[in-house]
Structure 1
Amino acid sequence: MNTLLPIFSELRLRQILLICIALISTHVTADSASDQRLSNLHTRSASFPAINSHSEPALQGDGYGFVNDADSLLDNLKNIYDEGVALDGRSRGILVIPGDETELVEQLENADNDITSFAAGGHFALLTQDKNWVVVGGSEFNGSGRFIYDEGDANRLRFATILGLFSLGDLQSSVNVSALWKNYLGLNYRFSLESMPNTRIGITAKLQNISVIERKISIEDYDEDKLFDRGRDVENSIQANADLGIEHQIDNWLFGLELNDIYQQEIEGPEGTRYQQRTHISGNINYSANWASLRLDADLSPQKGFGELSSRRAYALSGLLPVSDKLQLLLGYTWLHSGNDSNLPTVGLHYRLGELLRIEAQFSYAGPREFGGGASLQLPL
């Protein structure tokens, strides 16, 4: 079920973030933020200090995964396949009779338009000895599959049982799969202007490969490993691109704006569906105090979908509560405006030792078949 942000309307969020952007030009005397987490650079190009005070390099790596099978499509497909194989076997032994197809027809009809989706990936960031340059890279995969029921399958099954001959390959119902897979390697640089000492600008120049995956899987060929197999039915596009971020500090408040993938391109999938890559614009507001740190993130433009992979827009509110000098508790909630995703509560832990060592883990759960999590490690070299 899709629900919109209950406290802030989309229009109100836009108004708040536009005000924040306008405040960037305001001259204040507060110190700039000094967040030492390299993991933020994967979504916010200006999030690391512009002048690095560390004499030693550091490496950060993370991984995440999320599955949404709230429609139980994976189980339904397995049941359909098993029932079809059993019916096929009885037919070969001339043991099938009219009426044996009823259960399979019901399973096909009930699975119509069921959806499953999967996302996974990982990133790394290397703080070099050149201090102000950070090497970044990552791999991100997002895929979705939808079951399309062919109404003619009911008559095909009934006719086959009358004749006493049935083959699993006669069924025309199928699973349509669409996915986007991005791999990139880039270099991040942050700087501040003398006229705006509390404003930080970050640029990430990157070389990336975008793979557009599109396939149709019949019931006869069904295998869970084939749904999101990245090695077939793929069109690749290699491109140079860049992300641009800007952050401005006012006392305990930090306002940010991010433009991801400034260069835009249209890519055609293996089945002819066109993916329109667009610049993704997002904004964030951070408030830091001794008792907690609060953050609001919002998509100002939707994250573009492709085929069965629907576009989405997210609004997230999170807080870091100190448990001790080294340990923080993460509590968050994400409101999703998307085709099939539920809103997500999140819980996690952040551990800090020294200036550069960071260990982070979090888990999101919307139901027994809709959940995910991730972990990040940052350490000095």
Structure 2
Amino acid sequence: MTIPHLKALPALFTALWTGAAMAQTTLDTQLLGLASQTDVSSFLSNPAAVHASSPRYRFVLNSAGGGYFNDQQRLLDDFEDAEEEGERLERLSQERLLFPTDFERQIAIFERMDGKLFTLSGGNISAVSLPVERLDLTLVSSVVSRLATAFRYDPEDANRLRTAPILGIAQRPDLESRIIIQGIAISDIGINLSHNWERFENTRVGITLKYQGVRLLDKAIEIDDYEEITLDEFERNIETEHHINADVGIYKQWTRYWYSSLVVKSLNSKSYTSKAGTEYRQHPGVAVGLAYTGDRSLGSLDWDIVPSQRRYGLLDDEQRVRLSGQYRLNRRWHLSAGVEAIIEGRDSDSLSLGAGYHWENGAAINMALIYADEREFGGSIQVRFPFWKRDDA
């Protein structure tokens, strides 16, 4: 009896994660705060700051993507151990009759796996500023996805394994332990409008009107059936809903160096139910930020005080506080670093380190690695690319 170690999960995660990406730029179009554990869009999604312009080019593309892996409980290792033990039992059964005691190690592995959880998360976001006179318009698209896998052990499987040789059952017994896979992907595409609020000095406001898709995966698979499951069968267990939503944001410059921001995401609340009956309730998320910009340094403190990523089945609410900084070494290179503390959620506190490069034409790239543990890490990348030169440039 073999049990796979979930090699198909990355492909499943890709199937769930369907959408394009958006991007962030502050009012001075600096790249800052790349790394985030479960929502790469958190540092890009302020509708007041997403628009970017260039004096030499008609369009500016900002795009970012990233992912995060969390197997702190070593569920994938346990799956591999169970698979190897199942292969050993199959080889042994070809040499002699199996005894009840031969299954003790397999039973111990199942008991060890019970309740453990493995998660994948990621997102991408893209924004293309449109050359419309007197209006700061931006085409925006994004997707944020999370996937969780857990093992639910049925204690009666121990008796089923032990009694199979006694009863003379030639084939392996039917086991009731299950692999639970649940995932959610929220994808958006919309138009962003932002402008300077003349009644309040150095204040910029923005709104993103978007067509939003919510995809819910919810499937329980018996161990004996896992090897025969195909990606098409997973996709048939995805419930998809669409509706109109909106984000709003404010960006305020208080002095030459200090800025603050406020973002409210997904104003239109709604509840969804997966095909297996698991409920997901979407409510507006609220994030605030405080930033400092010096001649060669940047720093920001960001807090999602009301999480935009809500509980869904095995997946908890995600609420974080992040302190990040950036230092420009010269005209081309900069270094960045960050610390993220988890207020609510399964992930651990983490550190991030990154570097970026700027070209003469305004293009830039910034990369960061996130590290919490050897079994919990991730990374992200952001690019800015101006294109289609203006006639008068």
TM-score, normalised relative to structure 2: 0.82
Question: Match for residue 10 of structure 2?
Answer: none
Does residue 133 (structure 1) correspond to residue 137 (structure 2)? The answer is yes
| CA deviation map 1:126-152 (0-9, x unaligned) | 112226111011222111111111111
Equivalent position to 1:103, from 105, 109, 118: 105
**Contact 2:179 2:221 (8 Å CA) reproduced:** yes
Of residues 26, 29, 34, the one that matches 1:35 is: 29
| Residue range with higher mean Cα deviation, 74-83 or 250-259 | 74-83
- Distance change in 2, residues 1:321/1:113 (3 Å): same
Structure 1 230/311 Cα, relative in aligned 2: closer, same or farther at 3 Å? farther
Q: 1:225 to 1:129 in 2, by over 3 A?
A: farther
Secondary structure, counterpart of 2:97 in structure 1: coil
1:295 aligns to what SS in structure 2?
A: strand
What's the CA shift string for 1:332-360, capped at 9, x where partnerless? 01111344311110011122224631111
Amino acid at match of 1:332: G
Deviation at 1:88, TM superposition (A): 5.1
Count of aligned pairs: 350
Structure 1 segments unaligned to the other structure (5+ residues): 1-31
Q: 1:213 aligns with which of 211, 214, 217?
A: 217
Q: Against the structure 1 CA distance between its residues 41 and 362, is the aligned structure 2 distance closer, same or farther, given a 3 Å change threshold?
A: closer
2:361 and 2:386 in contact (8 A); partners too: no
Does the 8 A contact of 1:36 with 1:356 survive in 2? no
Q: Counterpart amino acid of 2:322?
A: A
2:199 alignment counterpart? 195
Equivalences for residues 270-281 of structure 1 within 5 A: 270-281=275-286
- Over 3 Å counting, the alpha-carbon distance change for 1:102 and 1:41 in structure 2 is closer
Q: 2:232, 2:339 → 1: CA distance?
A: 28
Alignment match, 2:177: 173
Coordinate RMSD, CA, aligned:
2.7
The change in CA–CA distance for 1:152 and 1:236 in structure 2 (over 3 A counts) is same
Report the equivalent of 1:370. Answer: 376
Q: Secondary structure at the match of 2:165?
A: helix
Partner of 2:83: 81
Q: What are the superposed Cα offsets for residues 147-168 of structure 1, whole Å, 9 maximum, x if unpaired?
A: 1111111111111232343655
Identical pairs, percent: 28
Counterpart check, 1:313 vs 2:307: no
Q: Distance in 1 between matches of 2:62 and 2:365?
A: 10
Q: Is the 1:293–1:321 Cα contact (8 Å) retained in structure 2?
A: yes
Deviations 1:227-284 (A, max 9, x none): 9996231110011111000111111111111001000110001110110011111111
Q: Which residue does 1:7 correspond to in 2?
A: none
CA distance in 2, matches of 1:325, 1:124: 25
Give the AA of the match of 1:185: I
Once residues 100 and 74 of structure 2 are traced to their aligned partners in structure 1, the CA distance between those partners, rounded to angstroms, is: 29
Look up the equivalent residue of 1:377 and give its one-letter code. V
Which of 349, 352, 355 is equivalent to 1:349?
355
2:244 maps to 240
Residue in 1 aligned with 2:366?
360
Native 8 Å contact 2:212 2:242 kept in 1: yes
Residues 55/264 of structure 1: CA separation in 2 closer, same or farther (3 Å cut): same
What's the secondary structure of 1:99's corresponding residue? helix
* Closer, same or farther: CA 231–335 of 1 in aligned 2, 3 Å: same
Structure 1 residue 94 displacement after superposition: 5.8
Alpha-carbon distance, 1:36 to partner: 5.3
2:219 and 2:234 in contact (8 A); partners too: no
2:328 pairs with 1:334 = no
User: SS of the residue aligned with 1:140?
Assistant: strand
Does 1:269 pair with 2:269?
no
Q: TM-score, normalised by structure 1?
A: 0.84
1:180-233: CA deviations, max 9, x gaps?
Answer: 112221111111222113111011111121101111122223369979996231
Unaligned runs of 5+ in 2: 1-25, 33-40, 388-393
Counterpart among 59, 64, 67 of residue 66 in structure 2: 64
CA contact (8 A) 1:136 1:185 kept: yes
Matching of residue 158 in structure 1 with residue 162 in structure 2: yes
| One-letter amino acid of the counterpart of residue 130, structure 2 | T
- Secondary structure (helix, strand or coil) at the match of 1:320 reads strand
CA distance in 1 between counterparts of 2:76 and 2:144 reads 22
Q: Cα gap change, 1:158/1:353 in structure 2, threshold over 3 Å: closer, same or farther?
A: same
Distance 1:225 1:139, change over 3 A: farther
**Which portions of structure 1, spanning 4 or more consecutive aligned residues, are displaced by more than 6 angstroms?**
38-41, 224-230
Alignment of 1:272-311 (within 5 A): 272-302=277-307, 303-311=309-317
Taking the aligned partners of 1:170 and 1:343, their CA distance within structure 2 comes to 41
Measured in 2, the distance between the counterparts of 1:330 and 1:168 equals 55
Query: What is the aligned partner in structure 1 of residue 9 from structure 2?
Result: none
